[in-house]
Amino acid sequence: MEIEGESGLHAQKNGIVQHPDPIKPPPNNTEEEDLESKHMQEEALKRRNAWESSVFYSLGKETFFFTGQEISIRESLDSFGAVIWPGAVALCRYLEKNRKQVNLLDKAVLELGAGTGLVSIVASLLGAWVTATDLPDVLNNLNFNLSRNTRGRCRYTPQVAALAWGQDVKRNFPSSVYHYDYVLCADVVYHHNFVEDLLNTMEYFCKPGTTLLWANKVRFESDLRFIENFKNIFNTTLLEDIPQEELRIYQATARN
């Protein structure tokens, strides 16, 4: 039986993620989604401080084609997490091209820093049971994109949950309950002050039996330092190096 708590995460049994039964959600309702989008924008404007601009900075929609499906992603300028970054596209291409080597069918998948949700959508279309996580202010747009692109198309309804790297992770995701087959990360390393927290969060979720896939565009010297620290913690394999895009995809597993 599937039970959802206040966090939007499934209750679990036997110390591992308990998969829900495959379901077929109702078909898309474009008019309903447009109304939902308008309502979300209005609510976002209400929450702004008086000194902030009263404009919702929408970048419109980006369209992608993965797993034979058209994927429409809504972006905005409200945060880094509301924009599609090249690592996400590269990881989606890799998952689609290597679906035999990375078989996500009926697998429990966690995405860190899901942003607009593109990677989580593709993982869901490939048959995974996905939990997409990011900061609270990103979740509305993330949930909108996931719902729009997976409803009626996937074996499992993807879940959305708030997760701030390094903050209450053990309390909100106790290791005795939550175990994932795959952890996905795309362009989560950039010029921010939370790289150590991110690495600790990666290590926390990448337990024995878990495979972590991380795609990232190398932009700064700090990215290279992170890669070295990443290699020191995990057993790593460079899956793809795309020099023209300055982008790399790594696979990592826990060291025994």
* Structure confidence at residue 59 (pLDDT): 57
Q: Is the pLDDT of residue 48 over 60?
A: no
- Per-residue pLDDT, averaged over 190-195, amounts to 73
More confident site: 34 or 123? 123
* Structure confidence at residue 76 (pLDDT): 66
- Per-residue pLDDT, averaged over 90-103, amounts to 96
Characterize 2-39 residue by residue with b for buried, 16 or more Cβ atoms within 10 angstroms of its Cβ, and e for exposed: eeeeeeebbebeeeebbbbeeeeeeeeeeeebeebbee
In SS3 terms, 201-220 reads as HHHHHCCCCCEEEEEEECCC
In SS3 terms, the chain reads as CCCECCCCCECCECCECCCCCCCCCCCCCHHHHHHHHHHHHHHHHHHCCCCCCCCCCEEEEEEEEECCEEEEEEEECCCHHHCCCHHHHHHHHHHHHCCCCCCCCCCEEEEECCCCCHHHHHHHHCCCEEEEEECHHHHHHHHHHHHHHHCCCCCCCCEEEECCCCCCHHHHCCCCCCCCCEEEEECCCCCCCCHHHHHHHHHHHCCCCCEEEEEEECCCHHHHHHHHHHHHHEEEEEEEEEHHHCEEEEEEEECC
More confident site: 67 or 80? 67
pLDDT in tens, 139-163: 999 999 999 999 999 999 999 999 9
More confident site: 203 or 48? 203
pLDDT in tens, 214-249: 999 988 888 889 999 999 999 999 999 999 999 999
More confident site: 85 or 38? 85
Predicted confidence band of residue 166 (pLDDT cuts 50, 70, 90): confident
Summary mean pLDDT of the chain: 80
Which range among 53-67, 78-92, 175-189, 210-224 shows the weakest confidence by mean pLDDT?
53-67
Q: Is the pLDDT of residue 52 over 80?
A: no
For the structural domain made of 30-254, what CATH number should be given? 3.40.50.150
Question: What percentage of the chain exceeds 70 in pLDDT?
Answer: 73
Q: Is the pLDDT of residue 89 over 90?
A: yes
Q: Which of 35, 33, 113 is nearest to 72 (CA)?
A: 33
* Structure confidence at residue 77 (pLDDT): 58
* Structure confidence at residue 2 (pLDDT): 34
Domain spans in the chain, listed from the N-terminal domain onward = 30-254
Q: Is the pLDDT of residue 53 over 80?
A: no
- Per-residue pLDDT, averaged over 58-85, amounts to 78
Question: What percentage of the chain exceeds 90 in pLDDT?
Answer: 62
* Structure confidence at residue 198 (pLDDT): 94
Task: Tell me how far apart the alpha carbons of residues 214 and 181 are, in angstroms, rounded to a whole number.
Answer: 14
Residues comprising the chain, all counted: 256
More confident site: 87 or 29? 87
Q: Is the pLDDT of residue 39 over 80?
A: no
Predicted confidence band of residue 169 (pLDDT cuts 50, 70, 90): very high
- Per-residue pLDDT, averaged over 109-137, amounts to 96
